[in-house]
């Protein structure tokens, strides 16, 4: 049994439209409507919309989870619905309106649970340590229902238990939480999170999963077949992401400082990437067909923010990096002669470098801390002897 709670989102529409399309195609069925005062799904949707509009301060009001038993768990519909009711009650959603869908669009039957994260008075239901609490809850319930508890990360991609659509949708929803100033920047973030975006001339989107080496490892799935906002909603989300001047300055200064420090110490482009990755920052170069850099973008995964080089300061514009690649970095084969990717498939640094470099950085910090502690703990007499020696 794997229960995956999707990242919260602001609008019910993409989730409900996705399930409605599956119902229309005959691969999905609405099997339960609870706490909505009706058994009609359309009426239940309106009730949940009313809850969402009544939210006092919560922006991301949608609760959406998938319940994925394996064939060995022997969970039929009735047993699964009882489990879902118990699980939702213990998570704090026992009195919330919700709709449960049964999906048969993959090799195994699985269920989707859609609800809202605010109660009838507009107050947010606590999601503190939600995933951890959910795992503890299903572990307890496994003794009642007799299934084996699994985790979503335990499911290999070549297994029938793995759901590509949910994986893609989860990564895309995560990308939408980054502060971007344009759709091309949003597509770059998606690629840095392992999703390759293709945009047709009619502005229709499709997505493919990337492996750890940045190579496509899945078939394309159209946006309309995923539980994600429409392109129009994505554009509105990007346009609405406004920060205060102080917040923008703080985030920009962090990226600016990391980039300048890496430039000062990196002998090659690969070293530059690795130094930034150790700080949680990816760099993306946009190139012409001849390999000339005409754009550079920095993605800060720590603060979920994106900046063009020229937004940091004038000296970090694309021309600076183009000169570096023709000069000091010219011997670095990975940064020379690359064809220009589309904006949605720009070259992104290898995501493994972040974890590979954190250990060395932490070790250096610990050593510096120990030396500082030793200096503070030296006796006054020892300090006076050192001063006398320096005077002599």
DSSP one-letter string for 211-223: -TTS-B-S--EEG
Taking only the tens place, the pLDDT of each residue in 251-288 is 899 999 999 999 999 889 999 999 999 999 999 999 99
Kindly state whether residues 41 and 119 are assigned to the same domain. Answer: yes
Give the distance, in angstroms, between the CA of residue 155 and the centroid of all CA atoms in the same chain.
Answer: 19
Kindly state whether residues 229 and 298 are assigned to the same domain. Answer: no
Taking only the tens place, the pLDDT of each residue in 45-76 is 999 999 998 887 888 899 999 998 988 888 99
Give mean pLDDT, residues 76-84. 95
Kindly state whether residues 40 and 120 are assigned to the same domain. Answer: yes
Nearest one of 181, 130, 197, 159 to 348, comparing CA atoms: 197
What is the domain-level CATH number for residue 24? Answer: 3.30.930.30
Kindly state whether residues 234 and 267 are assigned to the same domain. Answer: no
Kindly state whether residues 198 and 313 are assigned to the same domain. Answer: no
Kindly state whether residues 380 and 288 are assigned to the same domain. Answer: no
Kindly state whether residues 46 and 144 are assigned to the same domain. Answer: yes
8 Å CB contact between 96 and 115: yes
Tokens of 387: 């001063």
Strands (E), 18-118: 28-34, 62-68, 98-103, 110-116
Q: Kindly give, in sequence order, each residue whose CB lies less than 8 Å from that of residue 160, ignoring residues fewer than 6 positions away.
A: 106, 107, 108
Residue 305, strand partner residues: 179, 300
Q: Which residues constitute the domain of residue 310? A: 245-350
**Which one of 242, 261, 283 terminates a domain?**
242
Which pLDDT score is estimated for 298?
Answer: 95
Nearest one of 70, 59, 68, 127 to 96, comparing CA atoms: 127
Domain count, the chain: 4
283: enclosing H helix or E strand = strand 281-287
Banded model confidence at residue 385, pLDDT cuts 50, 70, 90: low
């Amino acid at each position: 049994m794997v229960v995956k709670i999707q990242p919260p989102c602001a609008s019910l529409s993409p989730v409900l439209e996705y399930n409605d399309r599956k119902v229309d195609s005959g691969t999905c069925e609405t099997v339960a409507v609870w706490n909505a005062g009706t058994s009609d799904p359309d009426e239940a949707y309106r009730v949940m919309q009313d809850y969402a509009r009544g939210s006092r301060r919560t922006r991301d009001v949608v609760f959406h989870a998938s319940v994925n038993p394996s064939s060995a768990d022997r969970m039929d519909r009735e047993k699964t619905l009882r489990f879902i009711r118990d699980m939702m009650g213990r998570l704090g959603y026992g009195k919330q309106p919700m709709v449960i869908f049964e999906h048969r669009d993959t090799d195994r039957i699985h269920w989707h649970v859609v609800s809202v994260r605010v109660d009838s008075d507009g107050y947010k239901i606590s999601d503190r340590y939600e995933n951890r609490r959910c795992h503890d809850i299903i572990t307890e319930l496994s003794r009642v229902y007799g299934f084996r508890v699994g985790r979503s990360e335990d499911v290999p991609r070549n297994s029938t238990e793995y759901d590509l659509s949910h994986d893609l949708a989860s990564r895309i929803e995560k990308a939408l939480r980054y502060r971007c100033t344009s759709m091309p920047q949003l597509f770059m973030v998606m690629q840095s999170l392992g999703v390759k975006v293709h945009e047709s001339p009619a502005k229709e989107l499709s997505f493919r999963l990337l492996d750890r080496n940045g190579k496509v490892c899945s078939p394309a799935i159209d946006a309309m077949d995923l539980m994600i906002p429409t392109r129009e909603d994505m554009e509105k989300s990007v346009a609405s992401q406004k920060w205060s001047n102080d917040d923008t300055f703080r985030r920009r200064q962090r990226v600016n400082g990391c980039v300048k420090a890496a430039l000062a110490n990196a002998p090659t482009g690969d070293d530059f990437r690795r130094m930034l990755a150790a700080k949680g920052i990816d760099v993306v170069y946009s190139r012409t067909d001849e390999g000339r850099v005409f754009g550079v973008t920095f993605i800060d995964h720590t603060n979920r923010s994106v900046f063009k080089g020229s937004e940091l300061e004038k000296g970090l514009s694309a021309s600076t990096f183009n000169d570096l690649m023709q000069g000091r970095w010219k011997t670095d084969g990975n940064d020379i002669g690359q064809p220009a990717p589309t904006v949605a498939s720009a070259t992104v640094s290898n995501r493994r470098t972040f974890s590979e470099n954190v250990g060395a950085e932490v070790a250096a910090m610990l050593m510096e801390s120990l030396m500082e502690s030793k200096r503070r703990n030296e006796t006054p007499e020892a300090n006076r002897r050192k001063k006398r020696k320096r005077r002599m």
